[in-house]
Structure 1
């Protein structure tokens, strides 16, 4: 059965529609034939029953001699007593045997018989009316031909036999054409997508001007291609930037090692090896940052646990000893949230590292909670007294490998990944990280959703 069932959507839609219509037409045809036959039969019975009732009244009054010949609506009349004797009949049944003896009880019943010699090729609908007379029970039989009923049934059945297949074929043809026209844009979309490779992500599928589900599908496909193209561009830019960033420390490290190898004076080796170790440390930090960015981009899940954000920020700042610029904190206690302790601590570390890199004498870290009892937000501000960030560059600083002062950043050991990592980690926790106005220096503000405050007694 699976092999016989159509494999294309167009064929399946046509087969399904044809099957449904075929079943509906079959049921409708049977219902039509049944209603037509019942209606015609009822009309025939009413005429015969009326004449049978008239004759039964004459028989009950003992006036069978006054029975008139059957009129329109009845082909014959016959009156039979309980012993099977014919008491009266119409001219076309003179000498014919009784149809049946009178039943033992009065009443009316209906039969369909072939009655000789009046039936011919058509059946007779016989109405039997049994009544009580002075001489006992008699049965009055009045019959009417079903030739009109048979003719109507034959004509209707013939019309349906030819009409239903034609209508079914028309439904199948219309469904096939309409489905093909509806699926034509889908085929165009499929053909275009099949030709798109990783080098052709700029191409887009055609969007039909129909404003239906297929048009929305094409628009969604184009939006997906937009995201794929943007992702590919970011990936290529990231690889190029990473290669550029890795090239410099590797080149310097190689130069230092070659110099150390060429220098014969052992007293100079500690300085050369120390410089090489600094470059190795820089490479190690850069590799760790690149790995973290890859994990963030891959949206790998991180175990989230309830934590005290105030305590986390305090611990991250206190662990920094011997920094060039002191860090001053103002932390509101008891700010609770759910997240990754490691990643949130990395956010604090990166923000403080960035502030200390450009600060002159002071770095301030402020943590407070904003909002009401429901939907509170933790606001973490890191402010330095350095040169600051101009308004035009407040978004650029969050781009990967971006340094506003390239030479100065290299001297301070920055690779342009600290703030992008901090923003990505903040967004991973449902928050935001922005550079905002400050009277002096730079002001970076992270906003994180926190748990509602506990009710007080």
Structure 2
């Protein structure tokens, strides 16, 4: 089975080997080029010195200072060798060039004692002591440069594979150590079941990519555990809210069945209708949140007066609550929105305030700049600071012991404020809890219409 470790190591070895091989080739070529250029500078200098000596009639014989790999010769126009280096003393002219005053270079094969060598030979023409032209040759064996290149290439031929192999081994070991940590994370995550979301993957404490991966996985598991806890709590709450009216309806139906001619038929119908309305409200809220989770498009936004919706919902709620609803500060609040959704938002806010108020819920609408503001403030005990960040979470219930009634609706299951904020954001606004008690103060912001 091909593993990430093997593929990565193979890729590193391949890329490194090719890079080092190309670098070695360039190094050998650069070395040979530098050596050739250096020899050329020395030979051209020696060439000018010999030409000057020939003109002055001071030619040394034999010619020295040419080095063990060099050659030098001064030849008259008739082919007579006037001076030569020791390795070509008994040889004739080593070349048959006809250079001008400017030096030119040739590649020639010439004697070297008892052997022959290929030389990179510089040639120039100069005046002899008698005024007749002479040809001056100075060169260096090309074999010297080639041999130096071969020596370096041989060393690199051993060094490059060894370096590549060592890098491959190091990469294999380093990747193995890193991937063992990833395998530990994978094995732990793979073993976590839906009932074990409290478990976490091992963290090494090293602040690298794998360490951050482990931290991220643990944060994800924490969110999953929290979501699972909320969902389980919601299922329990929703089951309770559905069970209570169902149990009451069943008891009333059993009473009627036990005494079909009794006087409680009309009251039974009213109670059944109230219980059915409560269950219907709960189911509608659940369907609304499910549709929003599925990415339902926002509804068409039409001009409407938010203050009218507030006053209508206050009028609906007044007969059903024992607290005072103060609307003296409700003023014009034109917005663009969906009437049904904004009505649901306002209703949830008002019912939440009435549920927790001691005596009064104050409602205030106004326009500030390009925003319409709706404030709903109650004079109750307020929101526990520990719940302030979670009050808009779905299924959150700050006070599990609070009483439920037919008017609790979605608020009693922890959905009312979550739905209210969802509606606000679908309309381009937001709903926040302001920490300026006493009591709870919810502030709605929506774009102004016009």
What is the TM-score of this pair, normalised by structure 2?
Answer: 0.79
Written as runs of structure 1 = structure 2, the 5 A alignment for 1:69-218 is: 69-73=62-66, 75-81=70-76, 85-90=79-84, 93=88, 96-103=91-98, 105-116=100-111, 118=113, 120=115, 122-133=117-128, 136-218=132-214
Q: Where in structure 1 are there 5+ consecutive unaligned residues? A: 1-5
What does residue 310 of structure 2 align with? 313
The reply to whether residue 236 of structure 1 matches residue 232 of structure 2 is yes
Preserved contact between residue 238 and residue 413 of structure 2 (Cα < 8 Å)? no
The one of 198, 223, 227 aligned to 1:227? 223
Preserved contact between residue 102 and residue 137 of structure 1 (Cα < 8 Å)? no
Written as runs of structure 1 = structure 2, the 5 A alignment for 1:23-422 is: 23-61=18-56, 63=57, 66-73=59-66, 75-81=70-76, 85-90=79-84, 93=88, 96-103=91-98, 105-116=100-111, 118=113, 120=115, 122-133=117-128, 136-265=132-261, 269-295=265-291, 302-303=298-299, 305=301, 308-318=305-315, 323=320, 327-335=325-333, 341-354=339-352, 364-368=361-365, 378-383=373-378, 388-389=380-381, 399-400=396-397, 404-406=401-403, 409-410=404-405, 413-414=407-408, 417-418=411-412, 420-422=414-416
Superposed CA deviations along residues 20-72 of structure 1, whole A, max 9, x for unmatched, are 433442343233323332343344444544444344234435x48x5411213
Preserved contact between residue 74 and residue 136 of structure 2 (Cα < 8 Å)? yes
Q: 1:358, 1:67 → 2: CA distance?
A: 119
Superposed CA deviations along residues 60-108 of structure 1, whole A, max 9, x for unmatched, are 35x48x541121325543334556x334353654674544434262221
Q: 2:291, 2:191 → 1: CA distance?
A: 31
Q: What is the CA-CA distance between 1:216 and the residue it aligns to?
A: 2.0
The one of 400, 405, 425 aligned to 2:419? 425
Aligned residue for 1:77, secondary structure, equals strand
Aligned residue for 1:246, secondary structure, equals helix
Aligned residue for 1:123, secondary structure, equals strand
Preserved contact between residue 204 and residue 222 of structure 1 (Cα < 8 Å)? yes
What is the TM-score of this pair, normalised by structure 1?
Answer: 0.78
What does residue 3 of structure 1 align with? none
- CA shift in 2, pair 1:336/1:156, >3 Å: farther
Q: 2:316, 2:89 → 1: CA distance?
A: 129
Q: 1:392, 1:105 → 2: CA distance?
A: 104
Preserved contact between residue 373 and residue 453 of structure 1 (Cα < 8 Å)? no
Preserved contact between residue 433 and residue 440 of structure 2 (Cα < 8 Å)? yes
Q: What is the CA-CA distance between 1:202 and the residue it aligns to?
A: 1.0
Preserved contact between residue 394 and residue 435 of structure 1 (Cα < 8 Å)? no
Q: 2:71, 2:385 → 1: CA distance?
A: 111
Preserved contact between residue 364 and residue 383 of structure 1 (Cα < 8 Å)? yes
